Amino acid sequence: MKSNTMRKGSVLVLFLLTILTSCQNKIDKEIKPLIEKDSEIDTRDWESLTVYLENNKASNRSFFKDDLIDADKVQSYISSMGSKMRPPLEVRFSTSQVSSEALSVRFYLERSGSMVPYDAPQCTGIFKSAIVDLLNHFPNGDNPQNLIYIVNNAVYPYPTNFTSFIKDKNIFQTTRGIGDPQYTDFAAIFDSILANSRNNQLSILVSDMIYSTKDMKNVNPQKTFNEAKGLTSAIFKPYILEKSALIIRMDADFHGNYYSYDSPSGGKHYSGNRPYYFFVVGDNNVIERIYSDAAYRSFSKFETLKGFEHLYCFAPNGSGTISYYSILPSYTSNRGTFKPARDGRDVQNQIRAISDIVADRASEKFQFAVAIDLSKIIVEEAYKTNPDNYKIQSLDNFTIESITAVSSADITPNNKRYMDKASHIMLLKTDKVKQEQKITVSLLNKFPEWIVQSSSDDDRNTSAPDFATTTFGFQYLMQGIYDAYYSSNEAYYTNFEITLKH
């Protein structure tokens, strides 16, 4: 009897060990090719692993803590695996997502005379609702490092805590008497945001972005605009390599006095819609993390907020990431024929070079498709799909025929293996391929047209057709920041290369 019990116990242990080994072998098969190719886990690699773990949570419970992926444990496992390989590999981690430390937030609310009417009793509540939704989607709202400030002529601490602010039914009444509401000192505000920003911290400013100084009466507006542009350029210049910033245009109803540039103490009543803005600042890896870390993805879906209209990201030049691209050898819009070049594939079987090119017989033109992942580029979809926003460098004058988001109809059995990680399809065409060449495709980073259209040089007439959609001097504040980031180089998000061979 004892012998049978021992045998059953041994079988059970062997069975459990077999299951455990099988699970480890599967995750090892995911990790091994990632670290063998370059001994590095980058953002794309990390995302691939986290997707695998989320989809196979039941068999990988050891990598989870409180139902979330334990980044430290995964990193430790990968490092250990690399050290046991022959030869041993020292794995580098070049992604901001390998961090278990929660982000904190510093929230700045402008309380000037022209901000209070966004939350007047007659309002629909869209303004406050957008703020509350934004902060409620930020994980760890009870983090004691989360801080709130009131800003106008200076930066002041909020009288209560983060949770009280979210529950406050009249945020401008609670903050009445704090600071001077007649003007906004953007120099002090931006300096505070940039200078006091810490690791793993996000700063959020809510403002109407109307540039004003202490004495605006009888001042030439153009002088004010030049001052605003110079101010933001000078303040941001020291931080352009380490910080990124999102400017998000919002819309809400406004009921109360509006104070034009030449009348800071004598407002005119206005009822209607007005733009306001979220300005989100953090270290480059923090801004990257709110988009790529699963814990912060719901927070970074700014387009779902009530009143959202536009978004633009200031970031170091050329810092955008294209984690995947491949020529599609079989695609319905290809014109002409070609083959993948003998050495034209990378380690992940992405086709980067083609040969044996023959133009289309009917049109005598050549056109081919590239599957590309543009999902990591923080820019509006309409911008990504506009060929005018790209620069092509080639010997045979290639142009972009179209850029479209990948649809289910695009994925066929013949091209599925090249499409799984792509977000868009780009068609490149030319009249004739005459020679071997490299084609370099750059996604340019142009100053946003929506910022120009959102700006006004004169806000004295509240009945003007564009009053409801423009902000006094807004373009100049933003132009200063843009110039700080990109003045010395052609501004671009990212680029990629394709090789054509005989």
Amino acid identity for residue 86 in this structure: R
DSSP H or E stretch at residue 482: helix 474-486
Q: Specify the 3-state DSSP secondary structure of 240.
A: coil
User: What gap in Å lies between CA 482 and CA 477, rounded to an integer?
Assistant: 9
Q: What are 246's two structure tokens?
A: 């999102």
Judge whether 500 and 354 are in contact, CB under 8 Å: yes
Judge whether 264 and 182 are in contact, CB under 8 Å: yes
Which pLDDT belongs to residue 100? 61
Tell me how long the chain is.
502
Cα 286 off chain centre by: 10
Percent of the chain with pLDDT over 90: 60
Q: Specify the 3-state DSSP secondary structure of 36.
A: helix
Tens of pLDDT, residues 45-82: 777 787 788 778 888 888 887 777 888 788 888 888 88
Tens of pLDDT, residues 449-477: 999 999 999 999 999 999 999 999 999 99
Per DSSP, 330 falls in state S
Q: What is the band of 99 on the pLDDT scale with cuts at 50, 70, 90?
A: low
Tens of pLDDT, residues 151-174: 999 999 998 888 888 889 889 999
DSSP H or E stretch at residue 162: helix 162-167
Radius of gyration over every alpha carbon of the chain, rounded to an integer in angstroms? 27
Among residues 281, 282, 300, 303, the alpha carbon closest in space to that of 290 is found at 300
Report the C-alpha dihedral over residues 56, 60, 66, 69, rounded to 10 degrees.
Answer: -70
Which pLDDT belongs to residue 92? 77
Tens of pLDDT, residues 251-306: 999 999 999 888 767 789 999 999 999 999 999 999 999 998 888 989 999 999 99
Tens of pLDDT, residues 318-340: 988 887 899 999 999 999 999 99
User: What gap in Å lies between CA 6 and CA 377, rounded to an integer?
Assistant: 59
Least confident of 91-95, 333-337, 419-423: 91-95
Tens of pLDDT, residues 259-274: 988 876 778 999 999 9
Which pLDDT belongs to residue 98? 57
Q: Specify the 3-state DSSP secondary structure of 501.
A: coil
Q: State yes or no: pLDDT of 201 exceeds 60.
A: yes
> pTM of the predicted model, to two decimals?
0.81
Q: What is the average pLDDT score of the chain?
A: 88
